[in-house]
Structures are given as structure tokens and as C-alpha cells.
Amino acid sequence: MTMLTQGFERNTYPQATTKTAPRALLAAVRRFCKGAAIVLAAGTLLAGVIALKAAIYMPHLQ
């Protein structure tokens, strides 16, 4: 149950979160950007493989 209510707990030390909040936000943004870059790279690789296969098989269709 603690996994469901983890974000709703009251913090007894609010000054600790005000100092670490920008770092946590920056880390989350970096993690998101890394994931987005990986997805784009994988999509580009897949498109390249499909284009290469089409270029190889195109002469056989004529």
C-alpha cells in the first residue's frame, strides 16, 4: 500500500526537499531525454533496415 501513497505522505523536513527538488527535477528531465533519444535512435535504425531491405529487393520486383 505504501507504493500507492508514496507521493502523498507529509514531509517533516520541508527544507530538505526545497534543496533537492531542482536536482530531482533535472535528473528526471535527463532521464526522459535519454529515453527519448534511445527511442528515436531505435526508430531511425529500424527505418534504415527497412529502407535497405527495400533497396535490396527492389531489383527482384522488375
C-alpha cell at 29: 528531465
pLDDT at 61: 78
Cα dihedral: 47, 53, 59, 62 (round 10)? -80
Per-position DSSP letters for 1-62, written without gaps between them: -TTTSGGGSPPS-HHHHHHHHHHHHHHHHHHHHHHHHHHHHHHHHHHHHHHHHHHHHHHHH-
pLDDT at 5: 61
pLDDT at 21: 79
pLDDT at 39: 98
Phi first, then psi, for residue 9 (nearest 5°) are: -75, 145
The pTM of this model reads: 0.58
Q: What is the residue-level pLDDT of the chain in tens, covering all 62 positions?
A: 555 666 666 656 556 556 677 888 999 999 999 999 999 999 999 999 999 999 999 888 77
